[in-house]
Every structure is written in structure tokens, then in C-alpha cells.
Structure 1
Amino acid sequence: MALTTPAALVVNHVGVTVPDIHAAIDWYGSVFGFRCIMGPRELTAAGHAEASSVFGAGFRRAWQAHLLTGNSVGIELFQFIDPPTRELRPDQETAPGREGMPWFQPGLWHLCITHPDVPAMVERIVEHGGALLAPPYQFVPGRPWTLAYSTDPWGTVLELMSHSYAEAFSNWPQPGQLVPPTLVPRPNHDGVTQ
């Protein structure tokens, strides 16, 4: 059977670990308008076999809540109780096993939120206990797209982007783009660049 390219799938949700699930529900609700649609509920190793298989033998207890964004992508919050979530505060320059943003580690390293007024949203994040990592800037000279990086109060890296992902990243180089991108060629199966 020949393989075909699948249709683009829909992102369902992103999981985020926090040290205080109730504060996180309130924060994401008041800053971004995300609404809690379920929970928090308790997960235990004894009561939820799937939790033990996902989190491993050391897992004993956690709380979980589900938030809904404006485009129906879920944000699944976890607060680990036993063993507890290690807190990472935005004012820490270095945390155990992490320096700055975790961009160098495999896996997810930021969550991006679209908002037309990035500077105003950064201000709102900071007013609500988050921190600024990189101030708003026009990331493609000649185009109107603005982005910034910040954190929530628990250290989760948040990117803010003024325009949709599809608008900002489709069909490069774009008209009006002052600096063309340097695209990286794909190596063939022997590791040789094509």
C-alpha cells in the first residue's frame, strides 16, 4: 500500500506543569481569557493506571485541570503533589537543570498566544506576575509582525505574536520582506546535503 500525505491534523491540547493549579487557572483566565472546563481533579497512581504508565513508577498523586482557548485548543494543567512540582520562578537566573529558556532541551519549550497588540499583552502579563524575557520587536523587517517572549508566574515560556502563524510563516520570502531568509537544505538519506 502506498503512503499518502495526510491532511493537516488539528492540535488538540498542550500540557503545562505548574506548582499551583488554582493560581494558574485564575492567571490564565484573567490574562488570556482561557476558561476552565474541567477540574481540577485528582489523579493517583492507585486510581488511574494510565497516569502511572505515563508518569512512571515514582508518580503517586497530581491534580489536573483543562482550560479552553479562544480557538478551542486545550491547555491541560498539571500540579504534581507527590512527588511535588519543583517551582521555577521568572526571577531566577538559573534553576535546577535549566539555564534561561529550555530551548536546548528536546521537547516543548514555549507556548505561543496570538494577540494583535503584543506590547499591551506583555504589559498585562507583567502586571499579573509574569516576567518579560524579550521585548516586543518586528521580527521580519518590512512586515508588520511583532513578537515578544515572556513567562507566566511559574516560568512557562510564553511567546506573543501579533498575527496568525499561517500569515507570518507561509510563502517565504514574503513581499516587502527586507532581509531574505537563509533556508537550510535537507540532507539525503546518506547525510549529504541536496
Structure 2
Amino acid sequence: MQNHYPELIADHIGISVPDLDASIDWYGRMFGFELEMRQHLPIIPADIAFLRRGDFRIELFQVEGAAALPSDRREPNLDLRTHGNKHVCYRLADVPATVAGLRERGADIVFEKVINGTPMAFIRDNAGNLIELIQRAPAHDKETT
């Protein structure tokens, strides 16, 4: 039986932020993202920036007069009570070491736990958006690919 589904490759995530410059700086300092492109889109109107690390990009939007991120969207368990996208998750080789480095650089660590043997953490970016970090065992990766 032939698979008729297209190949899906994650390209980018879009995040609305209150301060474009501060977010460009934060993602660069915390995760090594580099500015790929920045421009003003008069049709929205918004200032946007694409940050890149490897093949993955973050698209940042700064829209004048945008509503602030509600406080319950800043807490992982409370955020689940609102429909829609929740967070981006990065798979890492060593969550505890990464969290230690992020903490040293001033990141807002929500929590760090081991759930069912899987090290994971949640942090907030400089605008309060949730980011999950997860460390999967190599055997788990082989089972799911």
C-alpha cells in the first residue's frame, strides 16, 4: 500500500512579541538563533524578523497595539484550558545541562522534572511564551521513527 501523505518538515513557528529587538536578543543569547531577515509588513501592519538556527526558524511579529499575553497562557497546566497552540518543544541531548546554562544566562525556568523517566523542562521566553525542552532516550527515538 502506497503512502499518499506528503512529507512534512517543520519550517518555523510564529510568535507575537511586544518588543522585537528584545526577543531577537533573547533567542540569540539563550539558544544561538541568528537574525536571518527583518522587515516591516505594511499590510498587517507589523515589524517581523526571521531568526534561524540550522534548518529551523522562528518568525517574530511585533504589532502595534497588540493585546498582552494573558497570565494563564504563561503557565503550562493552565494554558491547556485554552484551545489553540500551546508551545514549541525542542529535543535536547541533555536537559539538566541545558537548563543550568539557560539559568546562568537569566532564563525564566518554569520547572524541571523527570516524567516517566524522561527529563523535561518548561521555560518562558522574554515575552512569557512557553517553551518545552525534552530529552528522549535513543531507544524511544528508534521506536517512533
**Residue in 1 that maps onto 2:19:** 20
Residue 84 (str. 1) matches residue 66 (str. 2)? yes
Contact 1:18/1:77, CA 8 A, preserved across alignment: yes
2: distance between equivalents of 1:126 and 1:161?
16
How many Å apart are 1:148 and its aligned residue? 0.9
Residue 140 (str. 1) matches residue 120 (str. 2)? no
**TM-score normalised per structure 2:** 0.79
How many Å apart are 1:169 and its aligned residue? 5.8
| Residue aligned with 2:96, SS | helix
Contact 2:108/2:123, CA 8 A, preserved across alignment: yes
How many Å apart are 1:11 and its aligned residue? 1.3
2: distance between equivalents of 1:154 and 1:99?
9
More helix by proportion, 1 or 2?
A: 2
| Residue aligned with 1:5, SS | coil
**Residue in 2 that maps onto 1:42:** 40
**Residue in 2 that maps onto 1:100:** 75
How many Å apart are 1:42 and its aligned residue? 1.1
How many Å apart are 1:163 and its aligned residue? 3.5
**Residue in 1 that maps onto 2:29:** 30
2: distance between equivalents of 1:85 and 1:127?
30
1: distance between equivalents of 2:11 and 2:143?
25
- Structure 2: tracts of 5 or more residues without a match: none
Cα pair distance change 1:23/1:167, threshold 3 Å: farther
How many Å apart are 1:30 and its aligned residue? 1.3
Residue 68 (str. 1) matches residue 52 (str. 2)? yes
Larger relative contact order, structure 1 or 2 (CA cutoff 8 Å, min sep 6): 2
Contact 2:49/2:59, CA 8 A, preserved across alignment: yes
- Structure 1: tracts of 5 or more residues without a match: 46-50, 52-60, 89-93, 173-194
Contact 1:79/1:85, CA 8 A, preserved across alignment: no
Cα pair distance change 1:167/1:8, threshold 3 Å: farther
Amino acid at match of 2:143: N
Instruction: Decide which of 90, 105, 128 is 1:113's aligned counterpart.
Output: 90
| Residue aligned with 1:113, SS | strand
Amino acid at match of 1:109: K
Cα pair distance change 1:67/1:167, threshold 3 Å: farther
State percent identity of aligned pairs: 30
